[in-house]
Structure 1
Amino acid sequence: MSLEKNINDAIKTAMLAKAEAELRALRAIKAAVLLVKTSEGGSGELTEADEQKLLQKLAKQRKDSLEIFRQQNREDLAKKEEEELAVIERYLPKQMDEAEIRAALTDIIAATGASSPADMGKVMGAATKQLAGKADGKTISALVKELLTK
């Protein structure tokens, strides 16, 4: 079942349950899907990979906003972002934990023959392809830097 169909069904359920936070997040996802589908050059249909990229983008936006709101002591706004992020993450594949990412990166570093921080670009290219949708780019970057400076 497509993401759009799942979201439409979830919106109906959230409306009946009067789940305001969930409804807000679901409507944001639906709006983003419609925007991509109707954008210039858009094919009108989203592939599963496109859907995952879209959800990751929305999740990243929420995380960035959450960080900013926390820095500015705006817990009211941070709470809204957290609620929306939780809903968006339900539609994303399970994210790898740090130990799993570290193990995968160790294999990638060995396969690419990287040995110093100068090889970071080579490792990041392979890592972002292999771990796409399973790990956050910021986390991957930090771990690659750490592993290559050892």
Structure 2
Amino acid sequence: MSLENTINEAIKTAMKEKDRVALDSLRAVKSQILLLKTEAKGAEVSTEQEIAILQRMIKQRKDSHEQFTAQGRQDLAEVEEAQMKVIEQFLPKQLTLEELEAEMKKIISETGAESMKDLGKVMGSASKALAGKSDGKSISEMAKKLLS
């Protein structure tokens, strides 16, 4: 089942359960998917594009959560955190730090990287290989740690 169909089913469930946070989050995801489809002019939306949308939305909510927390607006921070949890349900299983480190070591050996000079090469391969399984910040931090 495509992400769009899964989201539509989840919206129906949220409506029945009168879950306002889930409903708002899911409608935002659906809106982003529809925007992507409109930009693609009828072309099929790939799974990678759908994952990228979800990751971008989670990152936006994390940033908002941090800002609201810094400003002492815990009420708004809680809403952002709740929306993050709803959206995260639709992402593939995220790698643990140990799994990420093992994957990064494998990618580093495959690319022949030896130092920080090769960071770009490693990041290019890692971003493609680990798309949806880990966020870019974690991948970058692990690559820097292993290459230094």
Mapped to 1, the partners of 2:76 and 2:41 lie a distance apart of 33
After superposition, residues 18-37 of structure 1 pair within 5 angstroms as: 18-37=18-37
Percent identity over the alignment?
A: 51
Q: Give the TM-score taking structure 1 as reference length.
A: 0.91
Point out the more displaced range, 128-137 or 69-78. Answer: 69-78
Tell me, what secondary structure is at the counterpart of 1:45? coil
Q: How many residues align?
A: 148
Point out the more displaced range, 134-143 or 111-120. Answer: 111-120
Mapped to 1, the partners of 2:43 and 2:82 lie a distance apart of 29
Q: In the alignment, is residue 134 of structure 1 matched against residue 138 of structure 2?
A: no
Cα pair 2:48 2:131 within 8 Å, conserved: no
Structure 1 residues 44 and 111, CA gap change in structure 2 (3 angstroms):
closer
Q: Give the TM-score taking structure 2 as reference length.
A: 0.92
Unaligned ranges ≥5, structure 2 = none
Point out the more displaced range, 56-65 or 128-137. Answer: 56-65
After superposition, residues 1-150 of structure 1 pair within 5 angstroms as: 1-39=1-39, 41-149=40-148
Mapped to 1, the partners of 2:57 and 2:41 lie a distance apart of 18
What is the CA distance between 1:57 and its match in structure 2? 1.4
Aligned partner of 2:70: which letter? Answer: Q
Tell me, what secondary structure is at the counterpart of 1:14? helix
Mapped to 1, the partners of 2:9 and 2:142 lie a distance apart of 39
What is the CA distance between 1:125 and its match in structure 2? 1.0
Mapped to 2, the partners of 1:109 and 1:93 lie a distance apart of 23
Mapped to 2, the partners of 1:68 and 1:7 lie a distance apart of 28
What is the CA distance between 1:73 and its match in structure 2? 2.0
What is the CA distance between 1:37 and its match in structure 2? 1.4
Point out the more displaced range, 1-10 or 100-109. Answer: 1-10
Structure 1 residues 14 and 28, CA gap change in structure 2 (3 angstroms):
same
Aligned partner of 1:132: which letter? Answer: A
Mapped to 2, the partners of 1:48 and 1:122 lie a distance apart of 24
What is the CA distance between 1:53 and its match in structure 2? 1.6
Mapped to 2, the partners of 1:101 and 1:17 lie a distance apart of 37
Aligned partner of 1:72: which letter? Answer: Q
